[in-house]
Structure formats: structure tokens, C-alpha cells
């Protein structure tokens, strides 16, 4: 889940909690306020009643003065209020005024009332006065208020949720931009875009700044490595060039005896090997240092045809049958020289480790929407542990083979430079297949 959604949901939940608490507290709040208001009204009425109290009025209220339980009631027409006066003896410790909520039936209609019970003595006679005020309206009102508030809260919740989502998205925009332009699309430090990302939050500006700094350091290291590679090649290869020239000039000397001549020729071969090892190692370093461009259009069919021509001598020498079964004209963008080396190395391996009069089959096709080229030989094959090691530098399948075991290490470097996957399947004495699985979506740029 993305951070913007997480934040928005978290905000919404906390707001929901607040609203829930408010909603639950609402009746208590409303009742407190409303009851105080009603109580005050009832007390005021009581005051008025007591103030104007006299014998005749009591008599008016209580018609039959002999009957102590006789009461007199007075109602407002809509039964919203009533007043009851009755004789009742005053008990000890009895509170003078008590408020309570009770249901009363008045003229056959039951409803809830807020009732003030007031006990007083008048001319040594104890009386109980009850003044009631209907709560039905209040209850209706409370319900309406709660309902209304719920609607308002839901609307607020929705609006703030949307606002949150958009605002968080707006805030996080630089973050995704940094990821996209500064991290994901960067393959080499030289192509790094140093323009600062516009961000409102200082955090992202800082992140951007730190990333830029980091990239600068990496770029610096890359540059140093490049310089080092360049120096190494110059400093190592110049002396080799000198030795080579000297030996070649020596070979022209007619006074050399056979022994010396062979030794010089042998030295030249060793020098050649040394040169090739250095060049191979430099090649790997330079691929890993991203010193190659990958913007050439490559036609695999063409490369295979060229290679077959180049290697015709070797193929004929070992009487190997070379079958090119390629059917697709697949176009790939990459570095032509490197791809050529990659396939060259695989094909020469297939020749080297083949059986005499064996065969090499080159096929292509699509596997899960990815184009592949496979090079299969009917050679000596490898077991699982050998396959594991073939891409290591200076690894050789068998010690009696010549070569320095860099061919496949180079092949792997080139493949990973182009995001090509190499799959190897092999069986001892049956042969080996190298499959180059190209990255998806590279067709026709």
C-alpha cells in the first residue's frame, strides 16, 4: 500500500473515532443543557405559584378539603405542561424539591415528563406540588439534531478524506519523481540528471540533494576507474609492444641457430597470450565500467552469417556441420562489437568442445514473449557443477583444453550489460545448449 493511501486512511479513521465519541456524547450533552433549562423553568413556575399562594387558591385547587388524597390538576391544552397539588404529610429528611423523569397518563395520553416535586407546608398542612413539562418535543429535537450532525460529519469526513488524499499526493509527488528520474532510469553515473527536483517539503529537497551528492561520488569513482583502466592498458601494453617488436626484429637475424629461433618464436606466442589476457580483462572492466554505447541496431541473422564465414576454416578443419536454423529477423538495439564478441565466444566454444564431425545448431524463437537465440553443440557436455563455474574468470571445463577461460566470463559481462539472460543446459557426452534470452520490449525501438 502506498504511503498516501495509508496516511489518508489513518486520518479518516482518527476522524471517524472523534466523530463516534462526539455522537455518543451528544445525548448526554443535550440532556444536560436541556434539563437545566427545563428545571429552571419549572422552578420559576413553582416560585410564581408559591408567591401567589393563599388559602382560597389552595381550596380552588383542592375542592374537597377533607380528603387528603384529593388532588387538583391543571393542564395546558396541548398537555405540554401540568400542575398537580395534593395534600401530603411531610416526612422527615424529605427534600424540598426533587426533579425526575416520569411517564404520566394525562387524559388517556401517555408521554414523558420532566417533573418537579415540591413539598411545602401551608398553615400547618403539608402539600405536594408537582409541576411537569413534556419531554416529547425535546426528544424529537434531540433526535433531529443527532441525525443532522451525523450527516454533517459524514460530509466532512468525505471532504477531508479527499482533500487529504490529494494533498498528500501533491506532497509526495517529488518523492516519486526522484525515484523515477534519479534512481530507476539511471544506468550509469554520467547520464545522471543533476537538476534539482522542485519540492515543497524540505525533506524531499534534502533527499534529492543527498542523492545528487551520492551520484557525484559514484561518478567520481567511475571516472577514476576509467582513468585507471586507461592507464593500465597504456602502461602494460606499451612494454609488450616493445618486446614484441624486439623479438620480431630478432627473428630476422640469419645468424640465429634453430634453438634460439624456436625460443624467440615461443616467446612471441607467450607475449601474444599475455596481450590477449590483458585485453580480455580490460574488456570486462570496460563493460562493467559502462564505457560502451548501446545504441546500434543489431541484426542477429547478419551476425551469425558473418561469424560462420569468419570461422569457416575452423569449422571445416574439425569437419563440423554448422546449421543455421534462424527464422526471425529480430532487431535489437545494443553494442554491435560486444554482441559480436558474445556470439563469437559462444560459437568458438561450441567448435572447441564439439566432437569431430559433430554439429552446431543455431536456432531462434520466442519464449514467453522474449526473443531467444540458442547455440547447441553435440560436444562433450558438462555436469551441473561444471555449469555453475563456467562463467567464472579463468575457469575451464577440462585442463587439457587450451585458452584461458575468459571467453564465457566476457560473454556473461556482455549479456548482463545488455540485460540478456544466458541459460545453459548440458548433458555429459550429449552436448550443450547456450540460450540467449533477450529482454522484453526491445523490438523495433
| Chain residues in the site for another protein (CB under 8 A) | 229-230, 232-234, 236-246, 248-249, 251-252, 258, 261-262, 265, 268-269, 271-273, 275-277, 279-280, 282-283, 286, 291-292, 310, 313-314, 317, 341, 344-345, 348, 352, 402-404, 406-407, 410
Question: Which residue lies nearer to another protein by CB, 140 or 262?
Answer: 262
Residue 244 CB, nearest approach to another protein (Å): 4
Contacts of 354 (CB under 8 A, 6+ apart): 318, 320, 360, 377, 378, 379
The C-alpha atoms of residue 366 and residue 372 are separated, in whole angstroms, by 6
First to last CA, the chain: 34
SS3 category, 72: strand
Calculate the alpha carbon distances from 99 to 56, 116, 152 in Å.
27, 5, 34
The C-alpha atoms of residue 149 and residue 155 are separated, in whole angstroms, by 10
Residue 185 CB, nearest approach to another protein (Å): 23
Residue 271 CB, nearest approach to another protein (Å): 7
Residue 346 CB, nearest approach to another protein (Å): 12
Question: Which residue lies nearer to another protein by CB, 332 or 344?
Answer: 344
Strand 421-427 relative to strand 109-122, pairing: unpaired
Question: Which residue lies nearer to another protein by CB, 206 or 317?
Answer: 317
Question: Which residue lies nearer to another protein by CB, 10 or 394?
Answer: 394
Residue 222 CB, nearest approach to another protein (Å): 14
- Find out whether 426 and 434 touch, Cβ atoms under 8 Å: no
- Find out whether 287 and 409 touch, Cβ atoms under 8 Å: no
The C-alpha atoms of residue 194 and residue 178 are separated, in whole angstroms, by 11
Question: Which residue lies nearer to another protein by CB, 159 or 241?
Answer: 241
Question: Which residue lies nearer to another protein by CB, 107 or 313?
Answer: 313
Residue 237 CB, nearest approach to another protein (Å): 4
Question: Which residue lies nearer to another protein by CB, 238 or 389?
Answer: 238
H-assigned helices in 252-370: 258-288, 300-310, 312-317, 336-352
The C-alpha atoms of residue 292 and residue 338 are separated, in whole angstroms, by 9
SS3 category, 126: strand
Calculate the alpha carbon distances from 417 to 273, 293, 440, 443 in Å.
26, 10, 15, 17
The C-alpha atoms of residue 13 and residue 376 are separated, in whole angstroms, by 62
Residue 193 CB, nearest approach to another protein (Å): 22
Report the chain's C-alpha Rg in angstroms.
50
Instruction: Report how far Cα 419 is from the mean position of its chain's Cα atoms.
Output: 23
Question: Which residue lies nearer to another protein by CB, 203 or 248?
Answer: 248
Residue 246 CB, nearest approach to another protein (Å): 6
Residue 221 CB, nearest approach to another protein (Å): 17
C-alpha cell at 117: 416535586
DSSP 78: T
Contacts of 403 (CB under 8 A, 6+ apart): 352, 396
Residue 234 CB, nearest approach to another protein (Å): 4
Question: Which residue lies nearer to another protein by CB, 198 or 314?
Answer: 314
Question: Which residue lies nearer to another protein by CB, 177 or 352?
Answer: 352
Amino acid at each position: 500500500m502506498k504511503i498516501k493511501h495509508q496516511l489518508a486512511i489513518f486520518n479518516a479513521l482518527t476522524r471517524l473515532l472523534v466523530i463516534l465519541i462526539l455522537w455518543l456524547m451528544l445525548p448526554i450533552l443535550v440532556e444536560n443543557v436541556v434539563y437545566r433549562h427545563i428545571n429552571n423553568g419549572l422552578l420559576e413556575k413553582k416560585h410564581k405559584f408559591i408567591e401567589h399562594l393563599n388559602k382560597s387558591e389552595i381550596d380552588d385547587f383542592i375542592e374537597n378539603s377533607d380528603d387528603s388524597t384529593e388532588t387538583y390538576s391543571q393542564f395546558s391544552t396541548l398537555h405540554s405542561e401540568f400542575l398537580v397539588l395534593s395534600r401530603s404529610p411531610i416526612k422527615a429528611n424529605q427534600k424540598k424539591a426533587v426533579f425526575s423523569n416520569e411517564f404520566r397518563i394525562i387524559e388517556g395520553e401517555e408521554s414523558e415528563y420532566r417533573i418537579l416535586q415540591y413539598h411545602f407546608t401551608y398553615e400547618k398542612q403539608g402539600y405536594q406540588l408537582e409541576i411537569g413539562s413534556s419531554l416529547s418535543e425535546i426528544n424529537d429535537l434531540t433526535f433531529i439534531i443527532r441525525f443532522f450532525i451525523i450527516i454533517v460529519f459524514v460530509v466532512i469526513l468525505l471532504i477531508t478524506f479527499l482533500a487529504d488524499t490529494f494533498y498528500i499526493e501533491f506532497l509526495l509527488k517529488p518523492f516519486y519523481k526522484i525515484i523515477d528520474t534519479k534512481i530507476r532510469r539511471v544506468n550509469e553515473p554520467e547520464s545522471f540528471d543533476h537538476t534539482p527536483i522542485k519540492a515543497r517539503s524540505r525533506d524531499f529537497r534534502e533527499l534529492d540533494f543527498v542523492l545528487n551528492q551520492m551520484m557525484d561520488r559514484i561518478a567520481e569513482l567511475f571516472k577514476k576507474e576509467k582513468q585507471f583502466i586507461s592507464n593500465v592498458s597504456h602502461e602494460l601494453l606499451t612494454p609488450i609492444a616493445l618486446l614484441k617488436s624486439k623479438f620480431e626484429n630478432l627473428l630476422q637475424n640469419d645468424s640465429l641457430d634453430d634453438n634460439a629461433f624456436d625460443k624467440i618464436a615461443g616467446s612471441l606466442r607467450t607475449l601474444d597470450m599475455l596481450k590477449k589476457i590483458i585485453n580480455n580483462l580490460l574488456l570486462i572492466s570496460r563493460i562493467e565500467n559502462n564505457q560502451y554505447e548501446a545504441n546500434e541496431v543489431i541484426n542477429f541473422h547478419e551476425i551469425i552469417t558473418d561469424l560462420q564465414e569468419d570461422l569457416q576454416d575452423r569449422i571445416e578443419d574439425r569437419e563440423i556441420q554448422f546449421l543455421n536454423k534462424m527464422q526471425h529477423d529480430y532487431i535489437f538495439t545494443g553494442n554491435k562489437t560486444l554482441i559480436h564478441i558474445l556470439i563469437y565466444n559462444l560459437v568458438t566454444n561450441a567448435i572447441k568442445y564439439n566432437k569431430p564431425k559433430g554439429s552446431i545448431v543455431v536456432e531462434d524463437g520466442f519464449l514467453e514473449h522474449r526473443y531467444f537465440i540458442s547455440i547447441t553443440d553435440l560436444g562433450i557436455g558438462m555436469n551441473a557443477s561444471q555449469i555453475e563455474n563456467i562463467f567464472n574468470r579463468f575457469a575451464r571445463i577440462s585442463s587439457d583444453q587450451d585458452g584461458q577461460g575468459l571467453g564465457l566470463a566476457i560473454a556473461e559481462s556482455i549479456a548482463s550489460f545488455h540485460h540478456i539472460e544466458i541459460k545453459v543446459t548440458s548433458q555429459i557426452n550429449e552436448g550443450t545448449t547456450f540460450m540467449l534470452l533477450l529482454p522484453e520490449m526491445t523490438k523495433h525501438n
